[in-house]
Amino acid sequence: LRDVLDAGPMASAVSRMKAPKLLDRDFAVQAAAADVLKNNRLIADAARKAGLASPLLDVCHALFGETVAQGHGGEDMVAVLRALEARSDGAALSTRPASAGSDVSAGFRVP
């Protein structure tokens, strides 16, 4: 996963810093989920005032809202993984590559 993210056009210092935390399930705070939710809310409010649709931002807002509501607001933003797991009936999402015998998309369901 890390190699794929780093090789793509969306690679950034943030993705290089957060990918290892995500893969290791390291929720030690660097950027708290509650702060991400607050910033997301500010940006979403500005978008709405400007009459702009923000569907991806809305999904992120919902996921970080669920993360905070589950009591993980003080954990690092990668704790959003916990909200994804809760949406997946509590199944821990695999972070091993498919070649290691695990499909990263396993456990995800489309609402």
Q: Which domains does the chain have, with CATH numbers?
A: 28-91 (1.10.1040.10)
Residue 14 CB coordination number (10 Å): 12
**pTM, to two decimals:** 0.74
What does the angle CA 98 – CA 102 – CA 104 come to, to the nearest 5 degrees? 70
Q: What is the pLDDT along the chain (111 residues), one digit of tens a residue?
A: 678 878 888 889 888 889 889 889 999 999 999 999 999 999 999 999 999 999 999 999 999 999 999 999 999 999 999 999 999 986 766 554 444 443 433 333 333
